[in-house]
Amino acid sequence: MDFRILGSLQASADGVTVPLGGVIKRRLAAYLLLNADRVVPTHKLLDVLWPEETPRTARKMIGNAVRGLRLDLAHGAPETRAVLLTRAPGYQLRVAPDAVDLFRFRRTVERARAEAGAGAHAAAARTLREALGLWRGAALADLADAGLKWPELDGLENERLDALEHYFEAGLAIGNHHELLGELRTAVAEDPLRERLSGQLMLALYRCGRQTEALSVFRRIRGELVDQYGLEPSRELQRLERAILEHAPDLDVPSAVPTEPVAVEHQSPSEQARVPSLVGQQAARRPDVSGAPSMSRVLSRMAPDGRRDHGVVPALVEDGGRQRTGHRAGHRRGRVSVVLVWVRHDLPDGHDLDDVQQTMAEIDTVMRQECARNGGTVGPATAPMFSAVFGADSPRRDDATRAVRTAFAVRDWLDFSRLRGGASSARLHIAVGTGDACLAYLPAHHGVPSVTGDPVDRCFRLLAMAPEGQVRVCEATRRATEPDISYHLGPEPPDGWEAVRSRPAAIHGLQTEDAFLGTG
């Protein structure tokens, strides 16, 4: 048996999904999993299942849900089954230690803390990325969306944020400030009053040569703390502000730390082995760095003297048709999602070739509009291929979702165009790949990054097998977008997963039919 609560509630036996039935049974299963191997009193279950008003038949309803849940748990091999026992004054759910993703997350975080305590910060960063990869969204997201408010869910979110902060701490200790900057911005935007996150963002910005932006982060959080609570920032955060103003040398990256980023790929070993050689040539593997100071240790021994001079080499990146500065020139490695659209045309004798040119122009327009909407970067169009990359400039946690939504927009545009009698000869094959890639910023490309690596290879593989008119994605993309996108499941590899539509909770991010009808 396997249970997943770090996201929507899911259960499976020997890889086969086990449906958990109605609302009461799902809530019962969720709360027993949160308290696995502990006896939960019946009166506590009454409170959590019906927080406002308990119906007269509540105890009978719990009994029915328990019987139904026991039938659900009877699937799978006997030695791996979970067992729901009646134990006074309530019930106890016994599960194997590896059967619940929450327990695996906690063990992985503890292993990472031990690695960081031993000075192996690169290993700690990799381990924490593995732990954070178990999260598919907010804990018990489907129940929380239905209005469920348990204190335990707030506690789980704090555990996730603590692990995220430890991950940033380990990354900063080995000089990964450039690679972490986008994730730090996103994390601070989601939790603007969490001081440790803001301090980590300040340090990353300072090390990237953006002193004024680092100070503006301090001014922003100080203003919010004073306005909302009448409190000043912590002493640690105030020391960090003074250190930035004084260019304290202890803020610099330790000289012994190389600059290669920690691999953050969520892939199986077989997938990792297929990363093209160009990515591997950008930098050698980083050894674990013993003794690299954490941000808290840096601040504890801050020296007031010493200054340094930062230089920034900007590169222009087209972001949905707009240009802005932010990337260093040259090469870097990062996690991105890539969209490839392959356009084929059936051209019988006498076909109007102007229709082909019109179709290609309209697809280009749709790609640019959707990249502007979803925050992607349009690649140069080389007929019959169109491309876009998400996460090249300011990485977001939902870059893969944004990429799939862009793919949907192109697919749906063709359907609407045919309703109007256009694009009759066009045949689209669309693929989305996610993974670690090499991004090259060359002057001749006018700020558009050249992407080489696993996500591109995955896209080409999927394009070769994708049925006409479908959006096919790789496994890494499906895992990253599962809370937001519905799929028709198929074998992977080689056929990939067919992305069907945005889930109802995410549908507001898609274009409306009227927007498509106005295209071109």
What's residue 446's pLDDT? 55
Task: Give the sign of the dihedral formed by CA 190, CA 196, CA 200, CA 203.
Answer: positive
Tens of pLDDT along the chain (520 residues) come to: 788 999 888 888 877 888 887 888 888 988 999 888 889 999 889 888 887 788 889 899 998 989 888 888 876 656 667 888 888 898 999 888 788 999 999 999 999 999 999 989 999 999 999 999 999 888 888 887 777 778 888 889 999 999 999 999 999 999 989 889 989 999 999 889 999 999 999 999 999 988 999 999 999 999 999 988 889 999 999 999 999 998 888 888 766 554 444 333 333 333 332 222 222 222 223 334 444 555 555 555 444 433 333 332 222 233 333 333 343 456 678 889 999 998 887 655 555 666 777 778 888 888 888 888 888 888 865 657 889 999 887 788 899 999 999 999 888 887 766 555 655 667 888 999 998 888 876 654 556 778 888 888 888 888 877 778 889 998 889 889 988 888 875 544 556 788 888 876 544 444 333 333 333 3
Pairing of β 10-13 and β 450-453: unpaired
What's residue 307's pLDDT? 37
Cβ 128 vs Cβ 109: under 8 Å: yes
Structure-token pair, residue 230: 């009448």
* Domains with residue ranges and CATH for the chain: 2-101 (1.10.10.10), 102-256+287-300 (1.25.40.10), 315-517 (3.30.70.1230)
Taking Cα atoms as reference points, which of 180, 183, 165, 208 lies closest to residue 296?
165
Beta-carbon count within 10 A of 416 CB: 17
Strand blocks (E) in 5-137: 10-13, 16-17, 39-41, 83-87, 90-94
Q: In Å, what is the CA distance from 117 to each residue of 70, 113, 171, 204?
A: 43, 6, 14, 21
What's residue 215's pLDDT? 93
Q: In Å, what is the CA distance from 443 to each residue of 178, 278, 330, 331, 365?
A: 20, 19, 9, 12, 24
Taking Cα atoms as reference points, which of 433, 414, 431 lies closest to residue 423?
414
Alpha carbon 118 to chain centroid, angstroms? 28
Q: In Å, what is the CA distance from 493 to each residue of 277, 422, 490, 509?
A: 21, 34, 9, 29
| DSSP element (H, E) containing 331 | strand 330-345
